[in-house]
Structure formats: C-alpha cells, structure tokens
Amino acid sequence: MPQPSINREFAFTLNDVARLLRTYADYKAAQLGITRAQWAVLVRVDRFEGLNQSELAEGLDLQPITLTRLLDKLCDSGLIERRPDPADRRAKRLFLTPAARPLLERLSELGEETMANTLAGVDGASVKDMVAKLSVVKENLRRLIQQRGADPTAGERRYG
C-alpha cells in the first residue's frame, strides 16, 4: 500500500481534530445543562443580535426545522426571545435575554479553558501561525465553492 500524501494526512488529521473537539465540547456543554448546538446558537446570537432565523440557520449550517427546535428550547429556557421583524411580519428577529448573559460568560470561560487544555504543549506563536495558515485554507475552500456554479449549496450537506 502506497504511503499517503502529506496533503491527505492533513485532511484526515484536520477532520479528526474537529471531530474530537466537537465530542469534547458536547461533554463540557452538558456540564452546564445545554448541548453544543445550543451553545453555538447562543454564541452566534450574541455576536449578531437581531438576526433572523434564516440568517442564523445559514450561519450555523443547520436545517431551518432543526434550528427552530433549538430556538424553541432556548426560548422555553428563557435565554432567547423572538421579536417581530419590522420589515417582514412573517419573520422573527432573535435576541438574548438578560438571563443568557451569565451563561454566556460561563460558556466563554469554558471555551477558553477547553482550548487552553487542547493546545497544551503548543506555544502561542505556533498557534498564531496555524490560525493564519488555516485561514488561507478556509479562503481557498470558499473560493473553490464559489467557482463551482451559480448555486453555492448544490450538493452541499447541511447538518442538524
């Protein structure tokens, strides 16, 4: 069997790291009584407060029905509220409630702690370098996706 190329090893390693990070984030989120998906929703709404559900679904790469279920749970928990969109009476805008702020602070601490443990043994300069190089890879992938045709989601698998 031929030796796999370093490019292929990069892809497998990147995929494995992302999968393991998601698994560990699931475990850490459960300690606070939420799911990783709910964590992602809260953080995204915090960053872009006032966005609508369609924008959020696209940003998180979730099917709208999956996001609706997540939002229903977060609304029932008193963490997110839906407000009418003044420009579209069918749409709702999403906002955090005051009750979400302490949880977001704890999630931020948890995220920092998780990444500090994840990156143990890797110096800061190397982390900065990896982020810069992965940003190039990310932009290359975005460009390739844009070049594949008029529909950027053709053949795309949405998760959730």
Q: Where are the domains of the chain?
A: 6-118
156: which 2 tokens?
Answer: 């795309």
Specify the pTM.
0.77
Average pLDDT, the chain: 90
> What totals of helices (H) and strands (E) does the chain contain, helices first?
6, 2
77: which 2 tokens?
Answer: 């928990």
103 pLDDT higher than 90 = yes
Give the pLDDT band (50/70/90) at residue 150.
very low
CATH of 6-118, one of 3.30.1480.10, 1.10.10.10, 3.30.70.1140, 3.40.50.150: 1.10.10.10
pLDDT 10s digits, 36-83: 999 999 999 999 999 999 899 999 989 989 999 999 999 999 999 999
Which residue shows structure tokens 């006032």? 50
What integer pLDDT is reported at residue 155 of this predicted model? 54
